[in-house]
Amino acid sequence: MPTDLRATPPAEPNAATKVRIAAAVVAARDEILDLSHRIHAHPEPAFEEHQAAEGCAAVLAAHGFTVERPAGRLATAIRATRRGGRGGTSPRIGILAEYDALPGLGHGCGHNTMAASGVGAAIALAAIADELPGEIVFLGTPAEERGSGKQFMIDDGLFEGIDAALLYHPCDRNHVDCEPLASVDVGVTFTGLQSHAASDPWKGRNALDAMILLFSSVGLWRQQLRPAARVHGIIQEGGTAANIIPDRTRAWFMIRSDDDADFQAMQDRFRELCAGAALATATTVEVEFSGGSRTMRTNRVLADRWVANAAAYGIIDEGPDASSGSTDMANVSWVCPTIHPDLAIAPSPTPGHSILFRDAAATAVADETTLMAATLVAQTAVDLFADPDRVAAAWAEFRAGS
Ligand SMILES: [Zn+2]
Ligand SMILES: [Zn+2]
């Protein structure tokens, strides 16, 4: 990742403005990186990102943004707005940030760098706000790792009037195109009947047997799944003592597919596997689906600007990422023109959701990538603020694909 934001000429068009964006990011370097480091040091899981949200809100307020916290129904969601000095309401460019961590791991997805870069992009744009039309809209979006917080924010109307949704995600490669799978969380609870596991086990109904059967069924089911389908889970409750027949077990599964019709069929089949395991063990089962995310529609008009702006700094797009998990940013891509570009903070291959990636998210390399991401997000926004026809083209593409 090249680091000299001041010495490298940005991409045309609007290069003179983009020079000032890069300078504004450099000027705010300490604020941006301090935020990244603080969020990394205090990981908060989905829906509990109180310190991260507060930290982002404080920096944005200090740079002239009007901050709503909470925004909508989620306690840790933020909307921060700043109107351009040229007036009008168009365009309204959304700068998005995630800040949730992974339970038991911390920032193994590196969202601290995303939050800091999103704030950095917003305050860099604020530095030239007097010359902008429309509005800069920062959206702090909770619960990407579980629960699809952005869908709640969509349902709360927080994306109404947004002309483009921009963010950056840390990765071990550089690419603008990702192909996330549709995904849903599933909670499975089996209920049986306790009894002494040695003196009278025949009086019990074993909820752990049901859970083991379900995992075995899923393992066999994988033979018949499409190549891009995923189903995986953990046992959260497996009983309380070896000498008690467990009367309650609970698992958390995720079901994913690249195909919407297949995705629905998988959920129906999974329900049947749960019912089968309950039937075989004389237990009962409760299956709860929550937090769905969709497949992604990358907007080419926005993506092309990102690629050009990145290339000016020597960052070459490595092509579509076919192994990008799932994200609720994909839900946003069905609401307005959206991109979900990745930049490397670690050498490839570094697995995501790992201790290795968590540690990479607090290195000097990650810091430089965070500043680069802030610059590129803001420069891509500049290309939209400066050219109503480009915004119209992004919407035309969006509508043609609907
Ligand atoms: Zn992530
Ligand atoms: Zn993640």
Instruction: Supply the DSSP string of 241-274, one letter for each residue.
Output: -TTB--SEEEEEEEEEESSHHHHHHHHHHHHHHH
SS3 sequence of 41-72: HCCCECCCCHHHHHHHHHHHHHCCCEEECCEC
Cα-to-centroid distance, 306 and ligand 2 (Å): 22
Sign of CA dihedral 172, 397, 308, 161: negative
- pLDDT value at 208 more than 90: yes
What are the pLDDT digits (tens) for 270-280? Answer: 999 999 999 99
Q: What is the model's pLDDT at position 350?
A: 96
Q: What is the model's pLDDT at position 21?
A: 98
d(CA 52, CA 57): 9
What percentage of the chain reaches a pLDDT higher than 70? 99
- The 8-class DSSP code of residue 397 comes to H
Q: Output the CA torsion 172→312→2→321 (10° steps).
A: 0
Q: Which ligand is nearest to the CA of 342?
A: 1
| 84 phi, psi to nearest 5 deg | -75, 150
Beta pairing class for 164-166 and 92-98: parallel
Return the structure tokens found at 300. 């080419």
Cα-to-centroid distance, 356 and ligand 1 (Å): 14
Cα-to-centroid distance, 255 and ligand 2 (Å): 15
What are the pLDDT digits (tens) for 104-137? Answer: 999 999 999 999 999 999 999 999 999 999 999 9
Q: Which ligand is nearest to the CA of 98?
A: 1
Beta bridge partners of 79: 68, 139
Q: What is the model's pLDDT at position 133?
A: 98
Whether the pTM exceeds 0.75: the reply is yes
Q: Which ligand is nearest to the CA of 352?
A: 2
Cα-to-centroid distance, 313 and ligand 2 (Å): 26
Half-sphere exposure of 290 (CA within 13 A, CB side): 13
- pLDDT value at 58 more than 60: yes
Cα-to-centroid distance, 171 and ligand 1 (Å): 9
Cα-to-centroid distance, 114 and ligand 1 (Å): 9
Sheet-wide strand order for 248-257: 230-237, 248-257, 182-191, 284-293
Cα-to-centroid distance, 28 and ligand 1 (Å): 24
Cα-to-centroid distance, 383 and ligand 1 (Å): 26
Give yes or no for a contact between 142 and 46, defined as CB atoms under 8 angstroms apart: yes
What are the pLDDT digits (tens) for 215-263? Answer: 999 999 999 999 999 999 999 999 999 999 999 999 999 999 999 889 9
Cα-to-centroid distance, 181 and ligand 2 (Å): 13
d(CA 395, CA 335): 10
Which residues crowd ion ligand 2, with CB under 5 Å? Answer: 109
Q: Which ligand is nearest to the CA of 110?
A: 1
Name every residue whose Cβ is closer than 8 Å to that of residue 178 and which is 6 or more positions away in sequence: 296, 298, 320, 321, 324, 327, 340, 342
What are the pLDDT digits (tens) for 284-317? Answer: 999 999 999 999 999 999 999 999 999 999 999 9
- Across all residues in the chain, what is the average pLDDT? 97
Name the least confident of 16-30, 80-94, 271-285, 316-330: 316-330
d(CA 179, CA 159): 22
Cα-to-centroid distance, 326 and ligand 2 (Å): 8
C-alpha closest to that of 252 among 320, 318, 184, 197: 184
Q: Which ligand is nearest to the CA of 170?
A: 1
What are the pLDDT digits (tens) for 173-192? Answer: 999 999 999 999 999 999 99
What percentage of the chain reaches a pLDDT higher than 90? 96
- pLDDT value at 4 more than 90: no
Q: What is the model's pLDDT at position 1?
A: 57
- pLDDT value at 2 more than 90: no
Cα-to-centroid distance, 121 and ligand 1 (Å): 18
